[in-house]
Chain A
Amino acid sequence: MRHGQSFFGPLADPAADAGHRDHPPRVGFFTDTSVCIGCKACEVACKEWNDVPEDGLDLLGMSFDNTGMLGANSWRHVAFVEQERPLGRQDAGLAELPTGPSTTEAAASVVARALPGTPRDGGDLGTAPVHLGFPSFDLPGTDADARERTDFRWLMSSDVCKHCTHAGCLDVCPTGALFRTEFGTVVVQQDICNGCGYCVSGCPYGVIDRRHDDGRAWKCTLCYDRLRGDLEPACAKACPTQSIQFGPLDELRERAAGRLAQLHEAGVTEARLYGHDPDDGVGGDGAFFLLLDEPEVYGLPPDPVVPTRDLPAMWKSAGLAASAMLAAAAAVFLGGDRS
């Protein structure tokens, strides 16, 4: 047993680690945000397939994002980021337009002040065009005498459950409602979940969430039912530009590396991968991304760490005790007359 690896660090085969024999290859999503057109087909296709309820009719004022964040009733979330910097070799055609000082900062102050009290204030999501203070982020046009606008780009990105190699939600679930499937994905079993909510704080990405009406925890299942019928997940199937790509994780990682190289060659030097690295704090994500800026800009944590990193030591003793108790309980059951 490699219990040490089961909670942290690289793990080649999470499905096998979770007891699946002769299982299919681990699958996941590679979301290439450089081709995302922000259409939100993923959000709708997901809801249609999984029967996810409507999530409120609120104008959030965060560019075209009115979903706000991932949650029990939004398993896909398209973030929109308006920024005062150029995109690769794109010419946004706005930089030479007239009227004085750079406006993005002005817009940011206007917009950020007015954002409604979304759960995480919008700003955290990166979808508010607030200045986040990155080192690479120079601020042309802050000079009040500037005659021309600064540059501009509009980033879009479809976020989803990461199906971590080491899934905090799963590891803290006391009921066995969350489990790792034969595909290496992480799924909540609604027939088991009792709504305790431990998983909510266990997720380093803030993905999993409970529904207000039934109290149970919900999140992306990577369309577990579809996978079992050899169908790709609904969001990936609908995605018009193949920004969301589904497939065996190994293959996706290879494809992502190729795409990254292609973009770098094309002058989009800011392109980077996120969540692909098995050495990161969650052992790498089953759903990883090609981003065009720092993850914070998209509302993603820069260095997610599974909360169970330090668990094995603690678990060893507690787990033994619990097992013993359960075995005793089982013995009691077996002893009774059930026939």
Chain B
Amino acid sequence: MGSNMAEAHPVGFQWVMEAKARGAKVIHIDPRFTRTSALADQHVTLRAGTDIAFLGGVINYVLTHDLHFREYVQSYTNATFLLSERYRDTEDLDGLFSGYDPLTASYDSSSWAYESVAAPERPGRRDKEQAASSRHGAGGPTVEGHAGEIAADLAMEHPRSVLQVLKRHFCRYTPEAVERICGVPRDLFLDVCRAWTANSGREHTTALVYSVGWTQHSVGAQYIRAGSIVQLLLGNIGRPGGGIYALRGHASIQGSTDIPTLFNLLPGYLPMPDTSHESLAAYLESISGRNQKGFWGNADAYTVSLLKEYFGEAATAENDYCFDHLPRINGDHGTYRTAMDMVDGKVFGYFLLGQNPAVGSAHGRLQRLGMANLDWLVVRDLTMIESATFWQDAPEIETGEIVPERCRTEVFFFPAASHVEKSGTFTQTQRMLQWRDQAVAPAGDQRSELWFFHQLALRLKARLAASTDPRDRPVQDLAWDYAADGDEPSSADVLRHINGIDLNTGRTVSGYTDLRADGSTSCGCWIYSGVYADEVNQARRRTPRSECGPYDAEWGWTWPMNRRVLYNRASADPQGRPWSARKALVWWDEERGEWTGDDIPDFERTKPPDYRPPEGASGPEALRGDDPFIMMSDGKAWLFAPAGLADGPLPTHYEPHESPMRNVLYGQQASPVRKVYGRPDNPSNPAPPEAHSDVFPYVFTAARLTEHHTAGGMSRQLPYLSELQPELFVEVAPELAAERGLRHLDWAHVITSRTAVDARVVVTDRMAPLLLDGRVVHQVWMPYHWGSVGLTTGDVVNDLLGVVVDPNVFIQESKVLTCDVRPGRRPRGPDLLAYVADYRHRAGITPRTGTRVVTAGDTDRPEHTEPCEWPEDPS
């Protein structure tokens, strides 16, 4: 679901084909019939943006028919725990959960806690401003007291037990509701339910694959929660052939999340400190909490070791290991906020490192206008890209909004070294680090990022060496003494420091359990600890698959600790025996007194299944022998999230921000806590209950083609790829073509309140209209790879998008919006602006449109607009 694996990950898809050849049934649920659908046993077309309704229907089917894997659910999830009496569900509040504050459009999540756990009242506003993950790291939120006994009903019959709450929450997600919302005929939906449940249990497991078709929504995190709930109810997590696969789109996008170039994280999913963290102790308490279970209990060792790697000798116990050298976050500093701050003149310099936001980010126009308002811009890439040439050839040149002679942005283009011209590791989508050796030296001025940032660091350190300004102390104290490899640092030595070093012996540590909080170890990223164990670059291992075991343990290195299946303790029953012989993965070996199996156990090796923690234990020690979810604060997988999410403890069907239809389940139309940016340069198309949504009557979605790569810098420049998909096109169903007078291969243009883009028409049965609540709705699809530079050029599809984001992770809703489609080319030059303005006028659009995020019940409906000036509403 939400993944076009055959097209976006063709080589990974070989394993799906192999499974199919061995008898597995492949089901593809997606708004479009794609190359993945063509190879699936079953394709299900659903309306873009309605996956939670579909999955909610599956959950309802499982629970109504008692098809959950009872023993697994009872032992390994929080299904038995009782919720507080203060909790109110969307069933009670017309689509809202308890704790909602319309003024801040955020939740106080304290009423979502377990009964016996005293959760402090916590206004949600700050969570929302900071992206929830910034506060919780990867281990989920702290919920204090989880190490102790939590009130539970093992029979899962208590009305406040999580399982019963779940049942009630999803009771209206019936096959009929799924049909009305998603446009999936109910028989087809039931076929999927039957197949999924029949292929789960002791003897069978089902795998679930998703990609950005799930994440790029205003409720993206809850899409994944919904998938997780299904998989947990059916016992498909931590077991061979099960799981949830997030297929990521870039060579090291997983790595750049683990070792983040992200504002809210430090390496290893440690949160970036915020203004509430007065000291290291306060920071650590916010991560490890008090009296809770799991390996986040050792966050002190991970953090101190990171600070030791950052600041070396300067980091001491006395100065809190230079904790105060870290800058503090106190709000949304995500890339879209930053782009708006550029437009508003608050940002002066911008580095683009192998990324092309002028084409690849939502609302390309906003991105380019932001870049045109900088002091300077550094672009590092293999080829010229639109983000470097915007001052020459942006669409805004044609409309007169950017004039080269009046654009002050100073642009530096540095040619980058390619993947064969430098050595280092990528982390692929299953968390495996694979080392690349350098094949040839880069030519001319081409350099790696390692070289560039090394040069910057050395020169900045030299420039600030004599400074007495306290703000320069972090740069002065910065440890930057990696072994040299010519005029850049040795990437192997950097990886070694990422792995971690025992500062007493100078040798690499063997894993994160070796890390200490007393300053005797340094470690750049605790979850990568072990990648350089025994002073050996484990990521460089290339033992051929024919010579490895079934889990290929000696090819590359997978975090954590080379474990391939996360939470694989769950592949055995509470007593430590495999659930079934054919689904054995790891199990307890009574004789040897340890966990063993085909994979490396994701559990303390010698902790027996019947281990019960002593009174007062916390952290790893508090994990029972049958608590497989070792990173969770209660050792259980969460069907219900008692804290940690900005938009509710359970996934709920909300309509997308821009939708042609009213939410048929609740008065609450769309996510009541989605983050909107009501600004004149970021208009929204109206959605019910607002008027005039019919001006943009079609559902729009965009995606990739196999033949191209994201913003095109690595594909539209190559003859062999460009010729395979040589032009931007828009796919429509024959019925829509008839409705709008579109002819195959003629030009058409797609319009939103942001802009209009041109494309050639492709009429195909792969696009099908849907019957939704008695009304036929069309979907329109475009690939988004094109821009103004390269062998094949075209309009920027992302210019159609506005910015509205998921409040948990600040990822934009770019997989679903509304649009109109018209035959012929769009107007050129300033006429385009007038044309789009006319559409906005017809739809009554102002910066307030779409910002009244609450629509449930009779509550007030305040606007959530930016405090900036805008022209008068059109009259």
Determine if chain A interacts with chain B. yes
Are A43 and B765 in contact (CB-based, < 8 A)? Answer: no
Q: How large is the interface on A (under 10, 10 to 19, 20 to 34, 35 or more residues)?
A: 35 or more
B722 at the interface (CB under 8 A from A): yes
Are B35 and A154 in contact (CB-based, < 8 A)? Answer: yes
Within the complex, what minimum Cβ distance (angstroms) separates A213 from chain B? Answer: 15
Main SS at interface, chain B:
mixed
Within the complex, what minimum Cβ distance (angstroms) separates B738 from chain A? Answer: 7
Q: Residue-by-residue, is A86-125 near B (CB-CB < 8 Å gives 1, otherwise 0)?
A: 0101111110111110011011001101111000000000
Q: Which of A54-62, A293-301, A312-320 contacts B (4 or more CB under 8 A)?
A: A54-62
Return chain A residues, CB-CB under 8 Å to B707.
40
Are B720 and A39 in contact (CB-based, < 8 A)? Answer: no
Are A41 and B10 in contact (CB-based, < 8 A)? Answer: yes
B420 at the interface (CB under 8 A from A): no
B357 at the interface (CB under 8 A from A): no
Return chain B residues, CB-CB under 8 Å to A114.
743-746
Return chain B residues, CB-CB under 8 Å to A41.
10
Are B723 and A57 in contact (CB-based, < 8 A)? Answer: yes
Chain A contacts with B in 100-154, Cβ cutoff 8 A: 100, 103-104, 106-107, 110-111, 113-116, 129, 149, 152-154
- State in angstroms the CA–CA spacing of A41 and B720 once bound together: 10
- State in angstroms the CA–CA spacing of A56 and B13 once bound together: 29
A48-B720, A58-B726, A94-B45 known; A39 vs B706 contact (CB < 8 Å): yes
Are A57 and B6 in contact (CB-based, < 8 A)? Answer: no
A5 at the interface (CB under 8 A from B): no
Out of A53, A91, A155, name the residue touching B188 (CB < 8 Å).
Answer: A91
Within the complex, what minimum Cβ distance (angstroms) separates B705 from chain A? Answer: 8
Q: Residue-by-residue, is B8-34 near A (CB-CB < 8 Å gives 1, otherwise 0)?
A: 001101100100010000000000010
Return chain A residues, CB-CB under 8 Å to B727.
57, 59
A189 at the interface (CB under 8 A from B): no
- State in angstroms the CA–CA spacing of A162 and B223 once bound together: 48
A66 at the interface (CB under 8 A from B): yes
B207 at the interface (CB under 8 A from A): no
- State in angstroms the CA–CA spacing of A155 and B6 once bound together: 14
Return chain B residues, CB-CB under 8 Å to A47.
720
Are B765 and A84 in contact (CB-based, < 8 A)? Answer: yes
- State in angstroms the CA–CA spacing of A61 and B763 once bound together: 9
A37 at the interface (CB under 8 A from B): yes
Are B13 and A40 in contact (CB-based, < 8 A)? Answer: no
In the complex formed, the residue of B with least CB distance to A243 is B17
Q: Which of B91-99, B159-167, B272-280, B769-777 contacts A (4 or more CB under 8 A)?
A: B769-777
- State in angstroms the CA–CA spacing of A41 and B725 once bound together: 13
Are A91 and B43 in contact (CB-based, < 8 A)? Answer: yes
Return chain A residues, CB-CB under 8 Å to B191.
91
Within the complex, what minimum Cβ distance (angstroms) separates B769 from chain A? Answer: 5
Return chain A residues, CB-CB under 8 Å to B36.
37
In the complex formed, the residue of B with least CB distance to A40 is B724
In the complex formed, the residue of A with least CB distance to B184 is A93
Return chain A residues, CB-CB under 8 Å to B503.
none
Within the complex, what minimum Cβ distance (angstroms) separates B725 from chain A? Answer: 6
A40-B707, A47-B720 known; A104 vs B42 contact (CB < 8 Å): no
In the complex formed, the residue of B with least CB distance to A98 is B771
Return chain B residues, CB-CB under 8 Å to A173.
none
Are A61 and B14 in contact (CB-based, < 8 A)? Answer: no
A305 at the interface (CB under 8 A from B): no
A156 at the interface (CB under 8 A from B): yes
In the complex formed, the residue of A with least CB distance to B735 is A99
Return chain B residues, CB-CB under 8 Å to A58.
726
B231 at the interface (CB under 8 A from A): no
- State in angstroms the CA–CA spacing of A54 and B733 once bound together: 31
In the complex formed, the residue of B with least CB distance to A266 is B23
Return chain A residues, CB-CB under 8 Å to B725.
64, 66
A158 at the interface (CB under 8 A from B): no
Are B724 and A67 in contact (CB-based, < 8 A)? Answer: yes
Out of A53, A66, A96, name the residue touching B724 (CB < 8 Å).
Answer: A66
Are B17 and A35 in contact (CB-based, < 8 A)? Answer: yes
Out of A59, A66, A107, name the residue touching B763 (CB < 8 Å).
Answer: A107
Are A98 and B769 in contact (CB-based, < 8 A)? Answer: yes
Q: Residue-by-residue, is B703-745 near A (CB-CB < 8 Å gives 1, otherwise 0)?
A: 0011100000000000111111111010001110110000111
In the complex formed, the residue of B with least CB distance to A259 is B21
Within the complex, what minimum Cβ distance (angstroms) separates B192 from chain A? Answer: 10
Out of B43, B719, B735, B762, name the residue touching A54 (CB < 8 Å).
Answer: B719
In the complex formed, the residue of B with least CB distance to A91 is B42
In the complex formed, the residue of B with least CB distance to A92 is B43
Are A38 and B187 in contact (CB-based, < 8 A)? Answer: no
In the complex formed, the residue of A with least CB distance to B722 is A57
Out of B17, B726, B745, name the residue touching A115 (CB < 8 Å).
Answer: B745
Out of A37, A94, A103, name the residue touching B10 (CB < 8 Å).
Answer: A37
B508 at the interface (CB under 8 A from A): no
A159 at the interface (CB under 8 A from B): no
Out of A48, A61, A152, name the residue touching B745 (CB < 8 Å).
Answer: A61
Within the complex, what minimum Cβ distance (angstroms) separates B32 from chain A? Answer: 11
Return chain A residues, CB-CB under 8 Å to B21.
35
A269 at the interface (CB under 8 A from B): no
Return chain B residues, CB-CB under 8 Å to A241.
10, 13-14, 17
Are B6 and A37 in contact (CB-based, < 8 A)? Answer: yes
Are A149 and B768 in contact (CB-based, < 8 A)? Answer: yes
Are B706 and A40 in contact (CB-based, < 8 A)? Answer: yes
Are A44 and B10 in contact (CB-based, < 8 A)? Answer: no
In the complex formed, the residue of A with least CB distance to B38 is A154
Out of A44, A57, A97, name the residue touching B770 (CB < 8 Å).
Answer: A97
A201 at the interface (CB under 8 A from B): no
- State in angstroms the CA–CA spacing of A162 and B28 once bound together: 34
Are A92 and B769 in contact (CB-based, < 8 A)? Answer: no
Are A56 and B706 in contact (CB-based, < 8 A)? Answer: no
Are B39 and A37 in contact (CB-based, < 8 A)? Answer: yes
Q: Residue-by-residue, is A1-44 near B (CB-CB < 8 Å gives 1, otherwise 0)?
A: 00000000000000000000000000000000001011111011
B764 at the interface (CB under 8 A from A): yes
Within the complex, what minimum Cβ distance (angstroms) separates A32 from chain B? Answer: 10
Out of B41, B765, B770, name the residue touching A103 (CB < 8 Å).
Answer: B765
Chain B contacts with A in 593-638, Cβ cutoff 8 A: none
Are A91 and B6 in contact (CB-based, < 8 A)? Answer: no
Are A90 and B726 in contact (CB-based, < 8 A)? Answer: no
Return chain B residues, CB-CB under 8 Å to A96.
185, 187-188
- State in angstroms the CA–CA spacing of A87 and B43 once bound together: 12
Return chain A residues, CB-CB under 8 Å to B723.
54-57, 66-67
Are A111 and B45 in contact (CB-based, < 8 A)? Answer: no
Out of B187, B738, B744, B766, name the residue touching A154 (CB < 8 Å).
Answer: B766
Return chain B residues, CB-CB under 8 Å to A92.
33, 37, 43
A59-B745, A99-B771 known; A104 vs B35 contact (CB < 8 Å): no
In the complex formed, the residue of A with least CB distance to B28 is A93
- State in angstroms the CA–CA spacing of A87 and B738 once bound together: 27
Are B720 and A152 in contact (CB-based, < 8 A)? Answer: no
Within the complex, what minimum Cβ distance (angstroms) separates B559 from chain A? Answer: 26
Within the complex, what minimum Cβ distance (angstroms) separates B791 from chain A? Answer: 7
Within the complex, what minimum Cβ distance (angstroms) separates A152 from chain B? Answer: 5
Q: Residue-by-residue, is A201-234 near B (CB-CB < 8 Å gives 1, otherwise 0)?
A: 0000000000000000000000000000000000
Within the complex, what minimum Cβ distance (angstroms) separates B722 from chain A? Answer: 6
B564 at the interface (CB under 8 A from A): no
- State in angstroms the CA–CA spacing of A242 and B45 once bound together: 28
Within the complex, what minimum Cβ distance (angstroms) separates A142 from chain B? Answer: 14
A91-B42, A103-B733, A153-B38 known; A57 vs B745 contact (CB < 8 Å): no
Among all A-B residue pairs, the 3 with the closest Cβ atoms: A54-B719, A98-B771, A114-B744
Task: List 22 contacting pairs A-B, 8 Å CB cutoff, sorted by A.
Answer: A37-B17, A37-B39, A39-B35, A44-B724, A54-B719, A57-B722, A57-B792, A61-B745, A90-B42, A91-B188, A93-B188, A96-B188, A97-B183, A97-B769, A98-B776, A99-B769, A103-B735, A116-B745, A154-B33, A154-B38, A240-B10, A240-B13
Residues of B participating in the A interface, judged by any CB pair closer than 8 Å: 6-7, 10-11, 13-14, 17, 21, 33, 35-45, 183, 185, 187-188, 191, 705-707, 719-727, 729, 733-735, 737-738, 743-746, 760, 762-766, 768-771, 776, 791-792
Given A37-B7, A106-B738, output 7 extra A-B contacts at Cβ < 8 Å.
Answer: A48-B720, A57-B792, A59-B729, A64-B35, A66-B723, A240-B11, A241-B10
